[in-house]
Amino acid sequence: MKFCVCIKQVPDVTAPIQIRDGELAMDAGRVVLNAYDASAVEEALVLTEQHGGEVEVILIGPDRATETIRKALAMGAAKGTHLVVAEDAELDSASVSKLLADFFQDAGADVILTGKQAQDTDAGLGGAMLAERLGLPYATNAVGLAQEGETLVVTRQGDTGQEIIALPTPCLVTCSNDMNDPRIPSLKGVMGAKRKPIDSRPVVDIPAARVRTLRYEPLPTREPGRVLEGEPHEQAAEVVHLLETEASVL
């Protein structure tokens, strides 16, 4: 099978983040491969190691995002495609899914994998939108994949338990980061990634974003907690009193 994994370069959420004049300020400038996408890459690699096939990664992003494609290639993907957009390009889930749908019209993918959401915005609509545009059967929030002939068996996490779904190929699956622990590229993999092909395609016509971020605001401050003194029965009585007089919930 040919697995095509859609990946994204995101800010390192562990790096210092500040909000200045309604904009995010990433002082460290660190960017990483989206964790959910990394799990999708890992699962595709595991399946091709077991059954044969090929893994290709596709990324929409500015020129500097090439380093994130190299990370996936160092993990073991065979090649990458970079749909290059400007650093300040306005993209939402709808416009991203349109660009990807245009790419996949002639990509020959048996299975398209995406992360279930993005670490930076927590948006999780792109995978479903892409499946709809391509007319593909799909499953979301996968925590396990298995290949049985030309069928992909998906274990997905629901609210009350797990579902086991058999999808005919071609199909699309969005992956949870609970699926696996993505491998750390070896030195050999990092060196080999430099020789693997990346097809860079400048995007000329970007669909207009329908959702636009106006500004960022810090979380509202919370009043500090109150420490109650006295014996346990006295503290309990004080809690009841506060619930009655201040919270007005009793």
For residue 123, what are its two tokens? 């948006």
pLDDT value at 32 more than 80: yes
Top pLDDT among 17 and 213 is at 213
Long-range contacts, stretch 213-221, CB < 8 angstroms, 24+ apart: 214/22, 215/22, 215/23, 216/19, 216/22, 216/23, 216/24, 217/19, 217/22, 218/19
Long-range contacts, stretch 189-193, CB < 8 angstroms, 24+ apart: 189/74, 189/75, 189/76, 190/74, 192/73, 192/74, 193/70, 193/71, 193/73, 193/74
Give whichever of 29-33, 92-96, 244-248 has the largest mean pLDDT.
92-96
| Tens digit of each residue's pLDDT (9 = 90 or more) over 107-136 | 899 999 999 999 888 889 999 999 999 999
| Tens digit of each residue's pLDDT (9 = 90 or more) over 99-108 | 999 999 988 9
Confidence of residue 27 (pLDDT cuts 50, 70, 90): low
pLDDT value at 41 more than 90: yes
Confidence of residue 152 (pLDDT cuts 50, 70, 90): very high
Angle of helix 126-134 relative to helix 93-104, nearest 10 degrees, comes to: 40
The CA distance from 112 to 122, in Å, is 20
User: For 2-202, which CATH superfamily applies?
Assistant: HUPs (3.40.50.620)
Domain ranges of the chain: 2-202
What do you get for the CA distance between the two ends of the chain, in Å?
Answer: 61
